Amino acid sequence: MRHNIFNKLHWQLKVSLLNTCVSLSDAVAFDTTTAQVAIKKIEGVLKIFKEQLKYESASLLPLVFEYEPSIWDLYTKGHQKAANLGYGIEILLQHYNKLHTTQDKQEVMDLVKIAYQEFMQFNFNHMDDEEEVLNEILWRYYSDDVIKQVEEQLHVKAALIKHGDVGRYQAATAA
């Protein structure tokens, strides 16, 4: 069995997407306190998503581009679509935070739920597809040792970002 780099890479986003989805569906009757909790979770998901996108774009997709540029282009476009869906949610959240009436907030929160469901479904489908297609490409052209080295670099870069060491992250990304 070959090494699957996506097991660790996608785990945090998948768990966060599902956890937030449950929170959104638990809120049957709208209240601003429950909405604020859901918003914080959504913001956390978007942060994890953006970090994952950076890691994949900087470290993983270049390996694919080297041998399969058309596949790289396809997944780059998929990442852009996912980013656009996330941006749409951010716009709705900004709008929500500017509103004053409960009814207006409830209406926007209903739109947030719909946008979040689309974002979640797209990301799960995209990640499943990455795991199937990109793993095959990585396995075809790279040894497990190389794949594990890339995975380790991803975790080092993630730790640098998490601890706010942007300069070292940029140096590690350039390497």
* 28 assigned to some structural domain: yes
Looking at residue 169, its pLDDT comes to 47
Asked whether the CA dihedral 121, 86, 43, 167 is positive or negative, the reply is positive
pLDDT of the residue at 59 = 87
C-alpha distances out from residue 50 to 20, 23, 90, 106, Å:
16, 21, 12, 27
The span from the CA of 125 to the CA of 123, in Å, is 5
Amino acid identity, position 29: A
pLDDT at 157 over 80: no
Does 74 reside within a domain?
yes
- How many domains are contained in the chain? 1
Query: Residue 95's domain spans which residues?
Result: 7-142
Please give the residue that has the higher pLDDT: either 41 or 23: 41
Average pLDDT of span 13-32:
86
Task: Supply the pLDDT for residue 156.
Answer: 73
Q: What is the pLDDT of residue 69?
A: 96
Neighbouring C-alpha atoms within 13 Å toward the C-beta of 116: 27
Average pLDDT for the chain: 89
Does the pTM exceed 0.85?
A: yes
Q: For residue 166, is it within any domain?
A: no
Residue 101 lies in a domain: yes
Whether 17 is in a domain gets the answer yes
For residue 50, is it within any domain? yes
Whether 52 is covered by a domain: the verdict is yes
